């Protein structure tokens, strides 16, 4: 007598998905946001690199054309042209900041946290490596700041081992912008001024 094997019934009920708690959902959202932010920063950095590269290529192309017009294209003539253009651009920024009242030339001052320095880089023999560098002292790393603060025009500084010397050429004071009071502030101060000085009213 043959025995009939009974087949096991498979459950057709759907498998329940485990529900996330509110805290877990927030955690996942935060993780996604952090990843998006990281990706955004990476893209922004790559975009900046690309912009700088395009700007650099445009400057070199422009300098090459002008060097050709002035008599001959050599590596030196093109590089010299680029350096001159960069100096003009940096000088233009200083002029603009002076016109806006942000910088005030004071070559008698010592460098401080609220000064802006213009200088040049020299090698150990005193040969010029970079004719112009400029920066706000307060924007630098604290260790570098400490090496710059307290110096005057004409001083030579070695900011890091193996770096060229920095000669200070100009010192500018960074001026705090004057905040003009708006009409509402003047209006609220007027009654108080009258109370303090009734004879002037």
Per-residue pLDDT, averaged over 14-41, amounts to 70
Tell how many helices (H) and how many strands (E) occur in the chain: 4, 5
Cβ neighbours of residue 69 under 8 Å, at least 6 residues apart?
none
Strand partners, 168: 119
Which tens digits make up the pLDDT trace of 83-135?
888 888 899 999 999 998 999 999 999 999 999 999 999 988 889 888 999 99
Cα–Cα dist 140/134, whole Å: 12
Cα–Cα dist 77/71, whole Å: 10
Domain layout of the chain by residue ranges: 26-100, 101-174
Cα–Cα dist 43/49, whole Å: 10
Radius of gyration of the chain (CA): 33
The CATH code belonging to domain 101-174 is: 3.10.50
In this model, does residue 193 exceed pLDDT 50?
Answer: no
pTM of the model: 0.56
Q: What pLDDT score does 48 carry?
A: 64
Cα–Cα dist 159/71, whole Å: 40
């Amino acid at each position: 007598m043959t025995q009939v094997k009974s087949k096991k019934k498979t459950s057709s009920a759907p498998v329940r998905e485990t529900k996330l708690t509110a805290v877990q959902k927030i955690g996942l959202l935060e993780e996604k946001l952090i990843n998006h932010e990281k990706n955004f920063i990476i893209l922004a950095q790559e975009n900046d690199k690309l912009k700088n590269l395009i700007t650099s290529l445009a400057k070199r192309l422009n300098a090459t054309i002008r060097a050709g017009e002035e008599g001959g294209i050599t590596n030196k003539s093109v590089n010299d042209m680029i350096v001159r253009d960069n100096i003009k651009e940096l000088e233009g920024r200083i002029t603009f900041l002076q016109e806006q009242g942000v910088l005030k030339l004071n070559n008698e001052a010592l460098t401080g946290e609220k000064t802006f320095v213009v200088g040049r880089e020299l090698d150990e023999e005193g040969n010029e490596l970079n004719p112009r560098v400029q920066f706000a002292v307060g924007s630098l790393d604290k260790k570098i700041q400490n090496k710059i603060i307290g110096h005057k025009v004409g001083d030579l500084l070695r900011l890091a081992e193996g770096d060229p010397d920095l000669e200070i050429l100009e010192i500018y004071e960074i001026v705090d912008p004057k905040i003009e009071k708006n009409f509402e502030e003047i209006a609220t101060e007027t009654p108080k001024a009258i109370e303090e000085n009734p004879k002037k009213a």
